[in-house]
A and B are shown apart, each in its own frame.
Chain A
Amino acid sequence: MTITRRKALALGAGAALAVPAVQQTRWLTKDFTRADFDPTLPQAPAGHRLWRNWSGFYTATPQEIFSPESEAELAEKLAGWQGRVRPVGSGHSFIDLVPTDDLMVDVSRLSGLYSVDVEAKTAVFGAGTRLRQAAMLADAEGLAFPNLPDIDVQTLAGSYATATHGTGREMTALHDRVLGFRLITPAGEIRDVTRDSDPAFFAAGRVSLGALGVITQFTLKLVDRFALRRQVYLLPMDETFDTMLERARQHHYFEFYVLPHTGHCAVITHDLHEGPIEGRQPSRDEDFIGAFKTMRDVLGWWPWARRKAFEAYVTTQDDANGRVEDETDISWKLLATSRITKMNEMEYHLPEANGEVALREVVAAMESRADTFFPMEVRFTGQDDAWLSPFNDGVRCSIAVHTAANEAYDTLFDLAEPVLRRHGGRPHWGKLHSLGAEDLAALYPRYDDFLALRAAMDPTGKFLNTRTAKLFGQPFPS
């Protein structure tokens, strides 16, 4: 058979259409749900309770979830309890710091604003107060938290215990506002701790993973109530990466989300605002996450089209600077947002100077997989001096990677974590990571001091679970 030029062209055109059609069909039939994903809750044994963390990744069926009404009641309980104990906040950690089969202590009844000194800008809060409630109560007194994380349903105790942070290179992590705390030891003794009364315990206790006992109240240093202007831009990735350090210096609060396979980032700035407040509009974050997932589900096999689709969308936005949001409100109403789409998350805090290089590598690694779609978050945090604070040696750049809760999370551990570790990253205590005691001791100069203090406070390992035992290099069960 002779192949004429016309036939060859027709065959070529047919192949050119057939190949994408096959690839498209194949991609559309993909199921991204991981094989071991099971949304059903376990049945708690008779007499036991059921607990689940926010992401649904961890569940537990403790013998008891104890919600003390008073510190005295808690002290008595701890003194008499012979099994294991783990404190629980709002269950927003992505890693298993909380699960236990024995006793979970929920401090949410120890909540609210106990006292305030408006002149000195100090306030005593119950440790179980959730951040949103605490911010609202402070606001009523004309005071504010200088910084808040991007979600605010965590308790004060849970957020401080894990070194939860917001963003802003001149801003420190939340626990740096602690002037003092009251802790019930594993033996049931009540201790009041300040920087002056016990400097070592103060340095260890502010970020302590619920390992030294149960903290019941905090004395905090606040600031005057203030308003912010929030602006959100969709900017090209390279432009964002090139200017990230400069922008972090320019704005009080600066962060951005890398939007994989779109060539763009969503850049968010908050700056002090004086004047009339317009109020925050309902967030569109969830709509965007849904759109990124749909683009992955439909066009994932064809990265060029995925990128061009989003680039074309960006050109339809009115603002020539790429600005898609501009609003003003009281600080606590703008700094935190709600997260509806459940995900698993890993976050490492890197020396600021390594941030850009590491980020480019992480993005390249995550984009090497066509199935990634979840935005990656980049933030900055200033230095403090808690022994286990990831930020205790200077400004750090935090890079967070996510996967949908029902999808594979191997990208976090196999692709992102090696890069983040290689660039000097320290893991967020409340998020997924694979580190053990030896790794952590190499990252934290005072780690051994913390371990010694923990062993002195809890010689029988009452406050250990599988995860904390790994972090502290302890056998479990001992």
Chain B
Amino acid sequence: MQSRYSFIRSRLLPGIVIAALAIGAGIWAARLLLDQAVPPDPLAATRFPAARAVQPFSLVDHTGKTFDNAALTGHWSFVFFGYTHCPDVCPTTMAVLNSVSQRLQDTGERVRFVMVTVDPERDTPEKLGKFVTYFNGDFLGVTGSTEALEQLTGQMGIMFMRVNEAENPAGYLVDHTASVFLFDPDGRYHAVFSPPLTADNIASDFRMMARTY
């Protein structure tokens, strides 16, 4: 008489293995189908129901040209507020934006990428220029007096705050907004991308927004 264990070995076990394989194959197939069928993720960006007008401001870019409301028109602008002494968030964001710019090359849209400094004391136009063009030769660095910067940041609800840490060997740090702001070709504040920022999300959100603009 066949023992229970040998029955398990001879009949049940192969059955279980086949069933498991079948289930696995089913899950795999379902995933494949779902991947194709599921619509793209909803926007990671926050898009305003109606784009907001930007009140007058006037700053200067790293090439010495005025950067004001007019400089935001005729193209989309991704704007990040950072500073060159910032070792983690800012270079990370700038690298992500460079990756976004590569991904958007086939869209036919005119897109500009700008870093506005939150540390005008140390970030001269020259330093800013070297910093931003390290990431992408077309990137623009923008600065101005603290008052002039606040004309722009104040109306957008953007905060930056100098943190004095005496023991910090690099000098002071600046706490600042980590989001990336999108202005539409009419120079209006259109959407904001909040961290975590990925080039994939930003690029796909932008495509969707540009299509329906």
A and B form one complex: no
